[in-house]
Amino acid sequence: MTASIESPEPNTPEENPWRVPTESEHERPSPSVSPLNGQDIERIPDSHFKPSKRQLLDKYIKLGVIVLMLVWGSVILVKSLGHLKMHIPPGDDGNDNDNGRYDNSTYTLPDPFITEDGLLKISFNHTRNKTFIPEVHSLQWLNSDINGKDNGLYFTSINDTYLIKSVSDKYYSKILFKGKNITYEGHNLSVESIVASPDLSKLLIKTNSIQNWRHSSFATYFVFNEEDASIQHIGDSIALTEWSPNSIDIAYIQDNNIYLYSTLEKETINQITNDGNSQIFNGKPDWVYEEEVFEDDRTLWWSPDGKHLAYLKIDETNVEEYTIPYFVQEEHEQYPEMRSIKYPKSGTPNPKVELLVYDTEDCTVYQGHINKMHSYESILVTEVKWVGNDKLIAKMTDRSSDILDVIAVDVKKQKTDVVRSEPSNGSWWEITHNTMHIPRNEAKGRSNDGYVDLKPVDGYNHLVYFPTINSTDPIILTSGKWEVVLGPISFDEQLERIYFQATKKSSNERHIYYVNINRPRVIQDVTDTSKPGVYGVTFSSNSKFALLTYQGPKIPYQKIISLDPKDDRDSKKDIVGNKIGKTLYYLEENEALKEKLETYSVPKKTFKEMNLGKDSNGNDIIVNTIEILPDGFDKTLKDYYPVFFYPYGGPNSQQAIQTFSIGFNEVIASQLNAIVVVVDGRGTGYKGISFRSLVRGNLGEYEAVDQISAASIYSKKDFVDSEKIAIFGWSYGGYLTLKTLERDAGATFKYGLAVAPVIDWRFYDSVYTERYMYTPQENLEGYKKSRVENVTSIAQAKRFLLMHGTGDDNVHFQHSLVFLDHLNQAGVENYDVHVFPDSDHSIRYHNAGVIVWDKLLDWTRNAFTGRFATNLR
C-alpha cells in the first residue's frame, strides 16, 4: 500500500536492515545533523590534563594485567561452551521422546549462544544492539556551486559543527552553524533539523516537533541569518516549510492555510489561502494522500525561478470518518481518548482535489480547473512537476487507476489542456514521483523544455522522453525484458546522460546505468554488472560527482566517484563497484562490521529462482526466492528441519532482493534450527506487467497458490519435517498468511502467524485497494472472494497466532475484530491472540516493539518443539 500495507517501518533492529536515504531525504538535512547556537565554547588545552610519566606507567601495568585476565577467561569460557548443547525436548506432539535420549534424527533446539565451532549465534540481543547494522552516510548535495563550477558541495556535521564541504576540494569548508541548541527569548531549544537556503546564506531551523501521521508533524520554525547571526521566529504549530529558489521567501502552512514569509521583511508578507480548516487542506495532504499517494507531508511546489507556487487544495468534506479509541495515553483518565480521522474506505467518497498556482509578483491565483478535464466522478492527482519556469504537468487518474491523464498547465497563458490519456490495458497505473525536467538548450539542439517519464514498453517499465510539454509520442530511451526502477535519477546536461537504476541484469538486483538522450536504447553500465549487486546512487548538482552505495549482498560500502570524462578512469585492478568514472575515496568501508562478523556464525543466505510449476497457459511460474539455512545445516538428516516462510506479497512489492541484512530471518534460522524461505510470487514487482497484473481484481488467490506451491516443494525434501512448516506475515503479509492457510486447509502449512492483517478489502482505504480491486460496486464478487472468511478451513492448521495494535490508523483493528468474530461463530479455538494497546501499524507503543518480536520467536519455538496440542477444535 505504497508504504502502507507493506511491512511496517522497521521498529527494531531485527527488522531494520539498513537502507539508503532517498533523494528527497538528501534534499532536507536529517534530524541527526546537529547544528549550533552560534556560540563558540572555550576549549581548555589538552596539556592541562596531561598525567606524569610515572602515573602513565602504573596505569598501563594495571591495564595490561586486567586485559590478560579477561582474554584467558574468555578463552576458557568459549571452549567450555563449545562442548555444551542445549537440548529442549519436544512436547506432546505424538512422538516418543525415548525417555529424553536423542540422536541426530530428533529435532532439537540448538545452543542459543554459540555454535559447535565456538562462533557466536545470531540473537535478538545482538540485533537490538544494532551489531549488524552497517554504517551509512547521506550526503545532502547542494545545488550551489563554487565560482559556477560543480565542486560537489554537500552538508555535513562534524563535532556539532554544521558546515559545507566539497568532494573535489578537501580544503574547502564553510561553517554555517555550531552547537545543538538555539536560544530564543530566554528559552533554550533543541535543534531537530536544518535546511539551508539555496544560496546558503540562511538556515531554516525546526524545533519542538509533534508527530502527526506517518510522514507529517507540527513544529516551531526559525530562520538563522549567517551574516548577522540573527534569529527570526516564523511561527508555532507549522505543518511544513519550503524555501523559495530565490533564497528570500519561505512558504509555510499553518492551520491548513499557506503563508509567505519574507526573510528580508522578517515577517509574513502574505496569506495565500484563507479557506483552510479541518476539512480543507491547502499545500499539504490529508491522511490518504499522505499515506498512499505522495508518501510525504507536502503538496506544494515552487517554480524553478521562484515566481510561482503550485499547490493542491484537498477537500475531504464528504469523506467518512473513522474513530480510533486510545486507552492508555493518560494514566489517570477514566475514559478512552477518541480520535477521528477522515478515512475513505473502498467504494466510499474520496477527497476532492484541485490544482492551483500562485503568482508571487501580482499575488493572484490561477485555478487550473483540472477537474473539468475529465468525465470521471472522482480523480486522483498523483504527481506535479514544473517543466520550465511557467509550465507544469500534472498526472491524474480515475479512482481505480485505469486511465492516466497528463495535464499541461501554462501559467503565463493561464491555459490547461489534457495532452495525453492512456489506458492501463488490463493492469493499473502505479504511482511514481520521478518525472524529470529536461531543460531547453539550443546549443544541444533542444529548443523546448521537455521531460523524461516512466512508461510501459512491451510489457516492462522503461524511460521515455517527451521533447515538449505537449508531446504525445515519446522517444523510447530504454527497452527490453527488464525494468527501470521508479524513474530517472539524474541528468548530466553537458554530457546529455540520463542516469537510472534498473533490473537489466536480474530482477533481484539493482545496477546503475546511463543512456544518452540522443542515442536511445544504447545502455551503458555504470556499476560492475559482472558480480551480483544492489546499488543506490545520489548525484551532485550537475551530475559530475556521485555517492555510490553498494547495498549487498556482501557487506555494504560507500564511495565518492567522479564521472567527469577529464578524470582518468580507474585501472581495472582498482575497480570495485563502479565500471566507469574515477574513485576519489571511500566514504565508508564498514571495516568494523567485517571484523565483528568474524566472531559470529551467520546462517547462509542464498538468492535464487524457483520453478513453481505450470500456470493455466502451460508456462513455467518462475519466482525469486531467498533461502536461509541454519548453522551446521546437514542435508543428510531425514525429516528434521522445520521451515519458516516469511512472505509480504503485495502488488508490485519485492522482498527477494540481494541486499545485505542480518535480522529477524537470521534469528529464526539461528535460534530455532529452521530453514527460512522468502518467496516473491505472482503479483510482486520488477518481473514485468503480466507477472504482477495477474492479481488484479482477485487479490489473495495467486499469491496464496504460489506460497503453497513453494511449501509443497520444500515439504518433499528429505531433510524437511513436513509437519513443521509455518508461514508469517505483517500487514499485506498477514493477509497473505491467512489467505494461504484458508486455501491450504492444513495440507502443507501447519502453523501461521499474522500481524496487523487485512481481513476484508472493503475496510481498507480506497486509494490503495481500488488500484488493484476496482470499487466494490464494480467488483462485488472479487471482494467477496478476496476476504478472509473460511475460518474452518484455516482451523485445519495445527495452530495460528493473531496480533494487532488497537491504534492502527492504517489497517484498522476492525479487521482483526471481524476475523475473531468469524472464529467465534465457527467455534474455532486453536489460535492465540495478542493485542497491543494504542500501538499503530508499526506496533511500537509502550515497549510493544520488543514484545511483538519476542512473541513471534517464542510462539514459533513452541510450534516447532511440539508444545501445542495437535488440534484444539
Coil, strand or helix at 708: helix
CB 152 within 8 A of CB 171: no
Bridge pairing between strands 202-211 and 193-196 = antiparallel
Q: Which residues contact 170 (CB under 8 A, 6 or more apart)?
A: none
Which DSSP string corresponds to 230-281?
A: EEEEEEEEEEEEEE-TTSSEEEEEETTEEEEEETTTTEEEEE-----SSSEE
Task: Tell how far CA 684 is from the center of its chain.
Answer: 16
Coil, strand or helix at 446: strand
Q: Which residues are registered as beta bridge partners of 609?
A: 624
| H helices, E strands: number in the chain | 14, 44
Q: Which residues contact 615 (CB under 8 A, 6 or more apart)?
A: 621
CA angle 257, 262, 266 (to 5 degrees): 110
What is the rounded CA–CA span in Å between residue 305 and residue 437? 14
What is the rounded CA–CA span in Å between residue 118 and residue 727? 31
CB 760 within 8 A of CB 815: yes
Cα distances from 493 to residues 304, 305, 440, 497, 591, in angstroms, run 16, 18, 10, 7, 37
Q: End-to-end CA distance of the chain: give it in Å, rounded.
A: 35
Q: What Rg, from alpha-carbon coordinates, does the chain have?
A: 29
Q: Which residues contact 220 (CB under 8 A, 6 or more apart)?
A: 189, 206, 207, 208, 209, 233, 235, 236, 237, 238
Task: Provide the sign of the torsion angle of the four alpha carbons 796, 797, 801, 807, taken in this order.
Answer: negative
Which positions are annotated as active-site residues? 731, 808, 841
Task: Tell how far CA 822 is from the center of its chain.
Answer: 33
CB 154 within 8 A of CB 212: no
